[in-house]
Amino acid sequence: MNDKTFKTVAGLAGLGLVIGAWSLIQRLMYGLNPVAFGSYVPWGLWVAFYLFFLGLSAGAFLITILAYVFCQEKYESLARLAALTVLVSIVCELLFITLDLGRLERIYQFLLTPSFTSLMFWMFILVNAMGAIYTFKLWFMVKGYEAKVRSLSWLSLPVGLLFYGVNGAFFAILLDRPLWNNGLTPVLFILAALLSGGALITWLGWLFRRDQDLTRALGRVVLGLLLAFLLMELCQLVVAWWSGGALARDALKALLVGPNWWVFWLVHLGLGSLLPLFLLSCREAPASRSALACLIIVVAFVAARYAFLLPDLMSLRVQGLEDAFVHMRLSTAYAPNLNEWLVCLWVVSLGVLLFALGSRYLPILEREQGGEHV
């Protein structure tokens, strides 16, 4: 990353940090009081962004596995970039899920009083394991210790698959959430993660390297993942409709025709799926079109995570409960407020700044000839 680009990106990220700082301070001072979600809708925008960054880390994880486990040499030029992306994504997802917790000062209890039957405990262990593995892995890549990088890549393969699968299983085991409670959810999680993360690496690879052949090859992979994801998503919705009963139908109505219908139909399906499908399906299109399609997928995928998360939470489990107790925190109506959006801006800006610093001062991308980094 040259000086001009770095200063521009770092300046915008710094501005985002300044704008979002007061909302973050409010969150730290007043807990969850400033947010819009409550008892009936306990998860909101921050969990959706957690799932989003979880996916970004998975696609980058796939690139490093292809390069160093399956010895696909054409991906080695992106391996350092992918490792940096994994690390930055893990930092962002940890921040989002930590801020969503009610009592931050009790997070150490995960280690002092662990529950080995809790999926949340294993999520905590695995995300920290992934962070540690990729910290050492990136360091060894920079130093040129290829044997150690390959060893860590083999270690990260089962750890990563367990981590992404456990996140899906966390939702799949919730019995009173019919859209989530099926065997397709963990598979859908892994596909969604590979799709969004693969799209990000394809776009970043084009942005930094301008490699036509590699971008087209990755674009074809992303196209296959997008088709598989949409098919699996359709299967999940059909299964929920026919086997989930009244609760599932209420959740589906909230998804398809509820107050946030446009998130699913316009942003996720229209902008984030059909438009990239068209761009990626053109055989003779330039590589820049594949990169543009991947950028659209990444930006719109927040809507996919939001559409997955909220409808099941916004449908009542006990009829009449919303009228029995009246309080702003006891409602199934939810829309993110300004505080939540500004905290998201702060975390995303931090991630952008960390990525910019890493790509500027570490030899993340080397030129094909000579040892200088971009």
- The two tokens of residue 83 are 């490792």
How many other CB atoms are there within 10 angstroms of residue 212's CB atom? 13
In a domain, 27, yes or no: no
- Give the closest residue to 123 by CA, choosing from 173, 164, 183: 164
In a domain, 269, yes or no: yes
Residue 199 confidence (pLDDT) above 70: yes
In a domain, 366, yes or no: no
* Predicted pLDDT at 27: 93
Pairwise pLDDT comparison (316 vs 190), residue with the higher score: 190
In a domain, 341, yes or no: no
Q: Which of 126-140, 182-196, 247-261 has the highest mean pLDDT?
A: 126-140
Q: State mean pLDDT over 65-79.
A: 87
Q: Specify the CATH number for the domain of residue 161.
A: 1.20.1630.10
Counted domains in the chain: 1
User: With bands split at pLDDT 50, 70 and 90, how would you rate the model's confidence at 214?
Assistant: confident
* Predicted pLDDT at 139: 93
In a domain, 129, yes or no: yes
Give the CA radius of gyration of the chain.
21
DSSP state of 182: S
In a domain, 346, yes or no: no
In a domain, 203, yes or no: yes
Q: C-alpha distances in angstroms, 308 versus 41, 45, 114, 189, 362?
A: 14, 12, 29, 10, 37
Residue 373 confidence (pLDDT) above 70: no
Helix (H) or strand (E) holding 368: none
* Predicted pLDDT at 277: 95
Q: Which of 1-15, 155-169, 334-348, 358-372 has the highest mean pLDDT?
A: 334-348
- pTM value is 0.91
Domain that holds residue 81: 36-336
How many angstroms separate the CA atoms of 346 and 16, rounded? Answer: 6
How many angstroms separate the CA atoms of 214 and 200, rounded? Answer: 14
Helix (H, G, I), strand (E, B) or coil at 354: helix
In a domain, 19, yes or no: no
